Amino acid sequence: MCNKKYTFEDGLILSQKELSKDIFEMWIETEAAKSAIPGQFISLYTDDKSKLLPRPISICEIAEDKKSLRIVYRIAGKGTKIFSEKLAGEEIKIVGPLGNGYDLLDEKAILIAGGIGIPPMLELAKKLKEKNVDINVVLGYRDAALFLKDDFEKYAKVYIATEDGSVGTKGNVLDCIKENKISGKVIYSCGPTPMLRAVKEYALENDMEAYISLEERMACGIGACLGCVCKTTDIDDHSLVKNARVCTDGPVFDAREVDI
């Protein structure tokens, strides 16, 4: 589902805290919450004039009153480091909501997420639960720092895979699915590209629908610069070649329509 309504504004930071090492949670009061849907993102600007481009961050949760958004992000550079130092009561420049979100199907679903791809799946789990869709959630972590695990357990049975084997299945998310014999009709997924590539192959092998949210570096975030294209099976109306803009045509795609 694509939502083209977005605004540029000064959002108000309601709260911020560190969930685990270098992983932060921020609630922002913003007009973007009124029209946001699961799978979309917002772009945040720093106060540093030397950093002109915004940083895209996925929407983790939408407040029930539609007045604020929750983001959960990892410190990955100087921009996100600046965000992590902001305090409640400060303003932050944002544009959003941006991108193409998930369609909510009525089929038994498996939600698969890894690393910093975990946060955007939380609002999706909530919305599917509200529709009484049968869902299982499979989360992949590096180690036992299981940020957001308790939040997901409000909406579904949660299965864990860790690279070091400290919790749940030792290995990746697909190892966890096979070990626990998790089944479904449709897959929703977000995470690093190697994981999404494996999820796509798994879905094709098992004749399942799969919708994946791609991670990509972005500049403008609104489709103007063509800096975040991905290869597709169809010709894009904008560029007339086989690609799509992750920021506007995605970040959510039918896995069969992208070449990853």
Beta carbons within 8 Å of 145's beta carbon, 6+ residues apart:
20, 21, 23
Whether 45 and 36 have beta carbons less than 8 Å apart is answered as no
What pLDDT is attached to residue 83? 95
Higher-pLDDT residue of 9 and 223 is 9
Tens-place pLDDT, residues 7-42: 899 999 999 999 999 999 999 999 999 999 999 999
Structure token pair of residue 147: 């940020």
Is 247 a residue whose pLDDT tops 70? no
Domain with CATH 2.40.30.10 in the chain: 7-98
Q: Which fold has domain 102-213?
A: Rossmann fold (3.40.50)
Question: Per-residue pLDDT tens for 141-189?
Answer: 999 999 999 999 999 999 999 999 999 999 999 999 999 999 999 999 9
Assign domain 7-98 one CATH number from 3.40.50.700, 2.40.30.10, 3.40.50.12780, 3.40.190.290: 2.40.30.10
Q: What is the 3-state secondary structure (H, E, C) of 67-116?
A: CEEEEEEECCCHHHHHHHCCCCCCEEEEEEEECECCCCCCCCEEEEEEHH
CATH number, span 216-253: 2.10.240.10
Location of each CATH 2.10.240.10 domain in the chain: 216-253
Strands (E), the chain: 7-20, 23-29, 41-44, 55-58, 61-62, 68-74, 91-98, 109-114, 135-141, 157-162, 169-170, 186-190, 209-213, 229-232, 243-245, 252-254, 258-259
The pLDDT confidence band at residue 230, using thresholds 50, 70 and 90, is very low
Q: Given CA atoms 213, 215, 221, 227 in this order, what sign does their dihedral have?
A: negative
Q: Supply the pTM of this predicted model.
A: 0.88
Q: Where in the chain is the domain with CATH 3.40.50.80?
A: 102-213
In terms of Cβ atoms closer than 10 Å to its own Cβ (0-12, 13-18, 19+), residue 181 is exposed
Is the model's pLDDT at 135 over the cut of 80?
Answer: yes
